[in-house]
Amino acid sequence: MKASLEGSLEETKGRYCMQLSQIQGLIGNVEEQLAQLRCEMEQQS
């Protein structure tokens, strides 16, 4: 029983770690897009 729960916990931690990594990648992309947009806006003014 305990081993089963520990295995389930490790699987859950692994999934959350993967999801966190994906979200961090998305945030990085959005930050890059915002930086480019800011640069374009500054060039127009």
In tens, the pLDDT along 1-45 reads: 999 999 999 999 999 999 999 999 999 999 999 999 999 999 998
Residue 45 is encoded by which pair of tokens? Answer: 């003014």
Number of domains in the chain: 1
Residue 45: what pLDDT? 80
The pTM of this model reads: 0.76
Torsion angle defined by CA atoms of residues 27, 32, 36 and 37, in that order, rounded to the nearest 10 degrees = 0
Residue 39: what pLDDT? 97
Residue 37: what pLDDT? 98
Measured CA to CA, the distance from residue 10 to residue 8 in angstroms comes to 5
Q: Which residues constitute the domain of residue 28?
A: 1-45
